[in-house]
Amino acid sequence: MKLYCLSDHPNAPCLLLTFKSTTILLDCGLDLTSLQHFLPLTLVPSARLNSLPPWTVTGDISTQLKDDLKKELKECSGRVFVDSSPEVCLPELGIVDFSTVDAILVSNYHCMLALPFITEYTGFKGRVYCTDPTQQTGRQLMEEFVEYMERVPRAKTAVNWKKPSVLKMLPAPLRDIAWATSLRRCYTTHDINSCMSKVRVTAFSEKLNLFGSLMVSPHSSGYCLGSCNWVIKSDYEKVCYVSSSSFLTTHSIPILQEPLKNSDLLLLTGITQTPAHNPDSMLGEFCSNLTVTIKNGGNVLVPCYPSGIIYDLFECLSGYMDSVGLTQVPMFFVSPVADSSLAYSQIFSEWLCAQKQSKVFLPEPPFPHAELIKSGRLKHFSTIHGDFSSHFKTPCVVFTGHPSLRLGDAVHFMELWGKSSSNTVIFIEPNFSYLDALAPYQPLAMKACYCPIDTAISFPQATKMIKELKPLHVVLPECYLTPPTSQPLRTDLVVEAEVAPTPYKRGSVLHLPIKRRLERIEITPELAGSLAPIEVKPGVFVSTVTGTITARDNKYILQEAPKQALPSTPSSQPIRKRKREDDGGVSETAHPKQYVYGNLEVEELVQALAKNGITDVKVEDTASGHIIHLQTEDTIIQLEEGSTHIFCEGNEPLRRKLRDTLIACLPSF
């Protein structure tokens, strides 16, 4: 069993597992933090961004390259940005032949954004497995991202700054980009559609059979709609892949831990990205900041993904705004996929927590946002163009993407509201550092609050989970073994386990210490009936067994061998004759019919020989046993502890007689 670690970003995992000659890719995360190095994509040309000064490289490079770099690099408030179509960071694709991958298991919609890069550009021929909500929501996330990119087409992609020789001359944080060679432009809508056609949707606790050798099941992880942990089982071994689980009560079905217990191997990723921020108190902070801003006549911008935590926010916020007398303040949700995100959330009732699920029996939509839309408190638009302007009124709350603040309509609102200190931008998504997100907008008058709501398990919860699940081995990203770089003193923010976990980093290949010793085999009733088991110990029976194995769909069946065990290659004339003569086709490959064990009492053998008419014997004691001498036949039986040796002078009938007598004296099976 081997594990190829294609990404070590714990929240954009991508791991390749080989197990029982099956190759499985676990998740396909896309590291979007690379977006922070680029300038925002504005739909309307921004005078401010266009007038940013170029950054000049000081170093030993050609003037040509220097000039090229001037066009690529811009400086804003002391930070250098790349002026180009933004690029995303792919997992390590070089160390694996993707045409050999049999299946891709996706655990949640945040962990599948790199999927089209693999299904469309690597020769991948297998199947992708994920739940229905994961597929639909994942598709929405991809479509939104692609739409945001294509809305602002940029002819050129900057390439010079990525050259290793140049990169090391750049200031931080550009200088510290670890995987500059894995940066790529995003895929297209066509890629998304083609990729989605390779998906086979699964239900929670469905047993998926991979080639008869592995049984794979997704079990609810409680993190978001349709999110799951995967259990990969052979008949004897069990591997659990835990990715982004949650113990908090949100809108999705709670985590199911039982199937994850007692595994041989636990792969753990997706612990909270904001361990210092408690989701519940963040929600409170969110509400109070919102109230203050609106009561002062300002507007609130919430950069967000088009699904997930926003469903809870709509519900929670509308109630809260009622309670503080802000019922009249509209909420806008602007995303190219707003309508389908809201519509799909209402029809995935089977994937929702019991309280939401029970609504459909009334019948009512599970989420209150259907009601909010009807009453006009929540208005959704695919873009800020067209209809939106006629409904737009301030003060208001706007939910829109992209949370990186580099693309999408959020960029527009930042430019629009950034100059006034009465407005507030509230960050709720945990994936991006808010200071990095705001950097190209500096200097900024607008207030910024960081209220990340990350429902994923905390470090103490992860440690407790491992304790409860009792895996034999634990494998996790290296960064989980040391405190986060931002909080080096918080030694509590690490994962601990009784058996030291095996860490991985990007590009590493782990040989996992799981030895397969057994395989399951079926024995046909006919063969089983022909066995003659001997009780060798109380309750323990043993029998020799010989049969032919057939393997179908990686299942082994043992059945009675055909009566005439002929050699498989055509035999030449003389051999066949010989066989006929050697009493009844004794094949050279014949197996022993029985096994003898234990020790022999010399007196017993002598008596048995006598019974068979061999009386002319002389017994001698030796250092290690006895020798029985058959005087007339010049034959010797040498008895020792655990062994007997018969020497005879070519008298075959006598030898067989001795053989049978001897075996009858020994216990056998």
Partner 1 sequence: MAEIKVTPLGAGQDVGRSCILVTIGGKNIMLDCGMHMGFNDDRRFPDFSYITRTGRLTEHLDCVIISHFHLDHCGALPYMSEIVGYDGPIYMTQPTKAICPILLEDYRKITVERKGETNFFTSAMIKDCMKKVIIVNLHQTVQVDDELEITAYYAGHVLGAAMFRMKVGSQSVVYTGDYNMTPDRHLGAAWIDKCRPDILITESTYATTIRDSKRCRERDFLQKIHDCIEKGGKVLIPVFALGRAQELCILVETFWDRMNLTVPVYFSLGLTEKANHYYKLFIMWTNQKIRKTFVKRNLFDFKHIKPFDRGYIHNPGPMVVFATPGMLHAGLSLQIFRNWASNPLNMVIMPGYCVAGTVGNKILSGAKKIEMENRQVIDVKLSVQYMSFSAHADAKGIMQLIRMCEPKNVILVHGEAKKMEFLKQKITGEFGIQCHMPANGEVVAMETKANLTADVSLSLLKRSIALSGDALKDVKKPRVLHGAVTISGEKMHLEDASKTMQQLGMTEHEIRFTSTVTIPSMSMEVVQKKLKRRFPHQSVQLTSDGSILVGSVLVKVAGESEESLDLLVSWPYQEEDLGSSLFTILQHGFASHTET
Interacting residues with partner 1 between 186 and 205 (CB under 8 A): 202-205
User: For residue 600, what are the contacts with CB-CB under 8 A and spacing of at least 6?
Assistant: 639, 644, 662, 665, 666
Cα separation, 144 vs 303, in Å, equals 13
Instruction: Kindly state whether residue 64 participates in binding partner 1, applying the rule CB under 8 A.
Output: no
Beta strand 397-400 with 331-334: parallel, antiparallel or unpaired? parallel
Q: Which C-beta is closer to partner 1: that of 461 or that of 546?
A: 546
Q: Which C-beta is closer to partner 1: that of 61 or that of 648?
A: 648
Q: Which C-beta is closer to partner 1: that of 134 or that of 202?
A: 202
Interacting residues with partner 1 between 363 and 402 (CB under 8 A): 363, 365
The minimum distance between CB 443 and partner 1, in angstroms, equals 42
The minimum distance between CB 81 and partner 1, in angstroms, equals 37
Interacting residues with partner 1 between 132 and 161 (CB under 8 A): 132
Cα separation, 429 vs 445, in Å, equals 22
Q: Which C-beta is closer to partner 1: that of 508 or that of 651?
A: 651
Rule CB under 8 A: choose which of 361, 443, 489, 613 binds partner 1: 361
Rule CB under 8 A: choose which of 188, 349, 420, 422 binds partner 1: 349
Rule CB under 8 A: choose which of 470, 516, 611, 618 binds partner 1: 516
Residue appearing with tokens 């714990």: 10
Residue appearing with tokens 């399951």: 520
Rule CB under 8 A: choose which of 187, 241, 314, 348 binds partner 1: 348
Cα separation, 269 vs 47, in Å, equals 43
Number of Cβ within 10 Å of residue 52's Cβ equals: 17
- Only segment of 46-54, 486-494, 495-503, 638-646 that touches partner 1 (CB under 8 A): 638-646
Q: Name the nearest CA neighbour of 243 among 109, 351, 91, 126.
A: 109
Question: How buried is 221 (Cβ within 10 angstroms: 0-12 exposed, 13-18 middle, 19+ buried)?
Answer: buried
Cα separation, 669 vs 667, in Å, equals 7
- Only segment of 31-39, 97-105, 437-445, 514-522 that touches partner 1 (CB under 8 A): 514-522
Instruction: Kindly state whether residue 653 participates in binding partner 1, applying the rule CB under 8 A.
Output: no
Q: Which C-beta is closer to partner 1: that of 77 or that of 571?
A: 571
3-class DSSP state of 332? strand
Give the per-residue SS3 of 101-125. CCEEECCCHHHHCCHHHHHHHCCCC
Instruction: Kindly state whether residue 213 participates in binding partner 1, applying the rule CB under 8 A.
Output: no
Rule CB under 8 A: choose which of 169, 248, 557, 602 binds partner 1: 557
- Only segment of 75-83, 307-315, 319-327, 645-653 that touches partner 1 (CB under 8 A): 645-653
* Helices assigned H by DSSP within 152-204: 164-167, 189-196
State both tokens at 405.
């603040």
Q: Which C-beta is closer to partner 1: that of 370 or that of 510?
A: 370
Cα separation, 392 vs 413, in Å, equals 12
Instruction: Kindly state whether residue 647 participates in binding partner 1, applying the rule CB under 8 A.
Output: yes
Instruction: Kindly state whether residue 347 participates in binding partner 1, applying the rule CB under 8 A.
Output: yes
Rule CB under 8 A: choose which of 18, 157, 433, 546 binds partner 1: 546
What's the sign of the alpha-carbon dihedral 114, 120, 125, 130?
positive
Q: Which C-beta is closer to partner 1: that of 326 or that of 666?
A: 666
Cα separation, 647 vs 629, in Å, equals 10
Instruction: Kindly state whether residue 514 participates in binding partner 1, applying the rule CB under 8 A.
Output: no
Interacting residues with partner 1 between 590 and 619 (CB under 8 A): 590-592, 595-600
Instruction: Kindly state whether residue 211 participates in binding partner 1, applying the rule CB under 8 A.
Output: no
Q: What is the DSSP letter of 359?
A: G
Q: Which C-beta is closer to partner 1: that of 84 or that of 340?
A: 340
Instruction: Kindly state whether residue 221 participates in binding partner 1, applying the rule CB under 8 A.
Output: no
Q: Output the CA–CA distances (angstroms, integers) from residue 285 to 315, 399, 427, in the order listed.
A: 16, 17, 11
- Only segment of 51-59, 141-149, 323-331, 344-352 that touches partner 1 (CB under 8 A): 344-352
- Only segment of 43-51, 416-424, 589-597, 608-616 that touches partner 1 (CB under 8 A): 589-597
Rule CB under 8 A: choose which of 65, 326, 542, 627 binds partner 1: 542
Instruction: Kindly state whether residue 47 participates in binding partner 1, applying the rule CB under 8 A.
Output: no
Interacting residues with partner 1 between 322 and 341 (CB under 8 A): 339-340
- Only segment of 152-160, 168-176, 533-541, 603-611 that touches partner 1 (CB under 8 A): 533-541
Number of Cβ within 10 Å of residue 119's Cβ equals: 27
Q: Which C-beta is closer to partner 1: that of 249 or that of 548?
A: 548
Write phi, then psi, for 18 (nearest 5 degrees).
Answer: -110, 130
User: For residue 290, what are the contacts with CB-CB under 8 A and spacing of at least 6?
Assistant: 300, 317, 321, 397, 424, 426
Interface with partner 1 (CB under 8 A), residue total 97
Q: Which C-beta is closer to partner 1: that of 542 or that of 608?
A: 542
The β-bridge partners of 73 are: 82
Cα separation, 618 vs 640, in Å, equals 16
3-class DSSP state of 72? helix
Rule CB under 8 A: choose which of 292, 602, 646, 664 binds partner 1: 646
Instruction: Kindly state whether residue 563 participates in binding partner 1, applying the rule CB under 8 A.
Output: no
CA end-to-end distance (rounded Å), the chain:
37
Q: Binding string to partner 1 for residues 273 to 292, with x set by CB under 8 A, is what?
A: --------------------
Q: Which C-beta is closer to partner 1: that of 85 or that of 234?
A: 234
Rule CB under 8 A: choose which of 421, 550, 607, 622 binds partner 1: 550
Q: Which C-beta is closer to partner 1: that of 201 or that of 316?
A: 201
Rule CB under 8 A: choose which of 178, 500, 509, 531 binds partner 1: 531
State both tokens at 576.
């066949």
Interacting residues with partner 1 between 77 and 96 (CB under 8 A): none
Cα separation, 413 vs 398, in Å, equals 9
Cα separation, 486 vs 489, in Å, equals 9
Interacting residues with partner 1 between 236 and 275 (CB under 8 A): 236
Instruction: Kindly state whether residue 661 participates in binding partner 1, applying the rule CB under 8 A.
Output: no
Contact 40, 440 (CB under 8 A): yes
- Only segment of 100-108, 244-252, 427-435, 587-595 that touches partner 1 (CB under 8 A): 587-595
Instruction: Assess whether the previous peptide bond of 190 is cis (omega < 30° from 0).
Output: no
The minimum distance between CB 107 and partner 1, in angstroms, equals 17
Instruction: Kindly state whether residue 60 participates in binding partner 1, applying the rule CB under 8 A.
Output: no
- Only segment of 36-44, 480-488, 540-548, 607-615 that touches partner 1 (CB under 8 A): 540-548
Question: How buried is 142 (Cβ within 10 angstroms: 0-12 exposed, 13-18 middle, 19+ buried)?
Answer: buried
User: For residue 172, what are the contacts with CB-CB under 8 A and spacing of at least 6?
Assistant: none
Q: Which C-beta is closer to partner 1: that of 341 or that of 463?
A: 341
Cα separation, 430 vs 451, in Å, equals 9
Rule CB under 8 A: choose which of 582, 601, 603, 604 binds partner 1: 582
User: For residue 517, what are the contacts with CB-CB under 8 A and spacing of at least 6?
Assistant: 236
What's the sign of the alpha-carbon dihedral 75, 77, 80, 82?
negative
Rule CB under 8 A: choose which of 78, 525, 613, 653 binds partner 1: 525
